[in-house]
């Protein structure tokens, strides 16, 4: 019993390290975690004091806990059981598939990553690529939104820069939670996007179980007061025109909404427009099969970044014109339901989606490139600079009469026309010969793409939401 036992020195070192690690885990680490958590909570409290829409506790819940809550939610458990019976599958197999879906959907929001990194990066990228402008904003209406309401920003989808641009401009209001398509599920974007509070969705999935889990997560986030941003069109516009609303996420929100509950849902229409959409040639290109395809490719993205850096290094870089965002008047879901004398179910979602998209269309800004593109296509023949400016002036009078928001650089119509024309000619979409400008036949569809972004503003529409 008291005999001497010899151990190799390396064994003693390993045993000592394991003992030290156990001591740290049991005694020191809980104190360190408590200290860091307290500092984080204080930082979030100070941050909430400066935000119009506070970061709700739901958004700060640990991802592992949120996944467990989602999987053990009564509605999800009910859907899981029904799916197992319908498909004739063991419940354990269905539960494993549900866990995969939950881990795919639930984000892991980091306040440090969002406000310490994402906001700075979005500001840098936005201002590096565009002259960013804030269009129409009804400050009084936005300030009057109930702080306890769940705010949902409803936007038209022009470019993948939409995420970056709106994150930057909405930084003073709150942290946004986006629904992001499968295109972004690539390394390292997937990890970064998830840490910013975004959740991934399979837009084309027909799996009923997946849809039920996604719907329940959206409803839980809405009930928890999480500020969200959605694109009702469901994808990027391929022809430049705003599209009809798809009712997926909207129907999920409506299905879980109680008109008599304490928390309201407030939709804020957001209109975006650009003098140049970075993906425009990809979006407007028609493949031999007659269809348009768009997917995120790391090589293409890195190639674009390298070209922009090279242009900057050689001092030949010019920003891609203006990017503008307008915020319309908020729409209370409770008031909308009361005004339409319907409950939040059935075909009501279609009416709500159409109404919200109409409000979004009304606040889409008119920018120099779409303006000049419209003037050139309307005339259908080459124009001199004088005739082009006269045509743009006539168009601007019509836009102002309709109440559309028009961004005129330096409040100068002539300069706005020159800016738009310079961008179009530098990209060879418009050619100049003897002082006369004409649309390049090879790029006519691309010019039409930009004109389409404001074509709806020329119709007989009620534009009370803009000035």
Per-position DSSP letters for 259-305, written without gaps between them: TTSS--EEEEEEEEEES--TTHHHHHPPPTTS-------HHHHHHHH
268 confidence band (pLDDT: 50, 70, 90): very high
Whether 291 has a pLDDT exceeding 70, the answer reads no
Range with the lowest mean pLDDT among 36-40, 102-106, 354-358? Answer: 36-40
| Lowest model confidence (mean pLDDT) among 159-163, 327-331, 422-426 | 159-163
Half-sphere exposure of 92 (CA within 13 A, CB side): 0
Q: What is the pLDDT of residue 51?
A: 59
Mean pLDDT for the stretch of residues 337-356: 77
Q: Rounded mean pLDDT of 49-73?
A: 81
Per-residue pLDDT band for 354 (boundaries 50, 70, 90) equals: very high
Work out the percent of the chain whose per-residue pLDDT is above 70: 81
Question: pLDDT digit string (tens) for 116-133?
Answer: 788 888 888 899 899 999
Tell me which residue has tokens 């427009």: 273
Residues 236-264: what's their mean pLDDT?
89
Please report the pLDDT score of residue 266 as a whole number: 95
Among the ranges given (90-99, 220-229, 278-287, 418-427), the one the predictor scored with the smallest mean pLDDT: 278-287
What is the average per-residue pLDDT within 10-39? 66
Instruction: Please give the residue that has the higher pLDDT: either 87 or 21.
Output: 87
Residue spans of beta strands (DSSP E) within 275-390:
322-327, 331-332, 383-384
Q: What is the mean pLDDT of the segment spanning 224-228?
A: 90
Has residue 110 got a pLDDT over 90? Answer: no
Are 364 and 271 in contact by the 8 Å Cβ rule? The answer is yes
Pairing state between β 228-230 and 150-155? parallel
Distance CA 322, CA 30 (A): 51
Q: How confident is the model at residue 460 (pLDDT cuts 50, 70, 90)?
A: very low
Highest mean pLDDT among 209-213, 224-228, 282-286, 365-369: 365-369
Query: Could you give all domains of the chain from N- to C-terminal order, each with its CATH number?
Result: 104-362 (3.40.1130), 368-458 (1.10.10)
pLDDT given at position 117: 80
- pLDDT category at 467 given cuts 50, 70, 90 is very low
* Residue 256 pLDDT grade (very low, low, confident, very high; cuts 50, 70, 90): confident
Range with the poorest average pLDDT among 4-8, 208-212, 260-264, 398-402: 4-8
- pLDDT-based confidence at residue 139 (cuts at 50, 70, 90): confident
375 confidence band (pLDDT: 50, 70, 90): very high
Strand partners, 19: none
Instruction: For residue 214, name the pLDDT band (cuts at 50, 70, 90).
Output: very high
Q: With 50 as the cut, is the pLDDT of residue 75 above it?
A: yes
Q: What is the mean pLDDT of residues 82-91?
A: 89
Give me the pLDDT at residue 461, please: 41
**Cα(215)–Cα(192) distance, integer angstroms:** 23
Give 447's pLDDT tier (boundaries 50, 70, 90).
Answer: very high
CA distances from 335 to 154, 228, 264, 340, 386 (A): 17, 20, 9, 9, 50
Mean pLDDT of the chain: 83
């Amino acid at each position: 019993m008291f005999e001497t036992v010899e151990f190799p020195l390396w064994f003693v070192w390993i045993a000592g390290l394991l003992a030290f690690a156990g001591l740290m885990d049991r005694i020191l680490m809980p104190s360190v975690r408590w200290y860091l958590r307290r500092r984080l909570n204080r930082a979030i409290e100070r941050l909430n004091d400066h935000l119009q829409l506070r970061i709700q506790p739901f958004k700060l819940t640990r991802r592992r806990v949120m996944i467990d809550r989602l999987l053990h939610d009564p509605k999800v458990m009910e859907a899981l059981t029904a799916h197992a019976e319908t498909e004739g599958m063991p419940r354990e197999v269905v539960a494993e598939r549900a866990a995969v879906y939950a881990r795919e959907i639930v984000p892991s929001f980091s306040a440090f990553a969002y406000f310490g990194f994402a906001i700075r990066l979005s500001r840098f990228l936005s201002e590096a690529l565009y002259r960013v402008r804030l269009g129409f904003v009804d400050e009084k209406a936005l300030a009057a939104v109930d702080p306890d309401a769940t705010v949902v920003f409803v936007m038209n989808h022009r470019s993948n820069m939409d995420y970056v641009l709106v994150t930057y401009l909405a930084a003073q209001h709150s942290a946004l939670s986006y629904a992001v398509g499968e295109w972004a599920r690539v390394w390292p974007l997937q990890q970064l996007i998830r840490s910013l509070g975004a959740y991934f969705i399979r837009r084309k999935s027909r799996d009923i179980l997946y849809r039920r889990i996604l719907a329940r997560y959206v409803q839980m986030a809405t009930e928890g007061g999480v500020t969200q941003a959605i694109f009702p069109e469901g994808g990027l516009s391929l022809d430049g025109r705003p599209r009809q609303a798809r009712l997926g996420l909207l129907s999920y929100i409506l299905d879980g909404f109680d008109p008599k509950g304490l928390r309201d849902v407030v939709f804020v229409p957001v209109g975006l427009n650009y003098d140049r959409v970075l993906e425009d040639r990809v979006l407007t290109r028609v493949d031999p099969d007659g269809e348009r395809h768009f997917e995120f490719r790391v090589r293409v993205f890195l190639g674009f970044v390298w070209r922009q850096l090279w242009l900057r290094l050689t001092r030949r870089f010019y920003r891609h014109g203006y990017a503008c965002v307008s915020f319309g008047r908020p729409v209370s879901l409770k008031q909308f339901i009361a005004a339409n004398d319907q409950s939040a179910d059935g075909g009501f979602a279609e009416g709500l989606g159409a109404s919200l998209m109409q409000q979004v269309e009304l606040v889409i800004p008119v920018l120099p490139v779409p303006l000049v593109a419209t003037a050139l296509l309307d005339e259908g023949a080459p124009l001199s600079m004088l005739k082009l400016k006269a045509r743009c002036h006539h168009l601007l009078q019509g836009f102002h009469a309709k109440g559309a928001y028009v961004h005129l650089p330096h409040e100068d119509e002539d300069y706005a026309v020159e800016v738009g024309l310079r961008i179009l000619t530098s990209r060879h979409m418009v050619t100049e010969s003897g002082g006369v400008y004409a649309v390049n036949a090879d790029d006519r569809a691309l010019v039409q793409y930009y004109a389409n972004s404001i074509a709806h503003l020329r119709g007989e529409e009620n534009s009370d939401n803009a000035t």
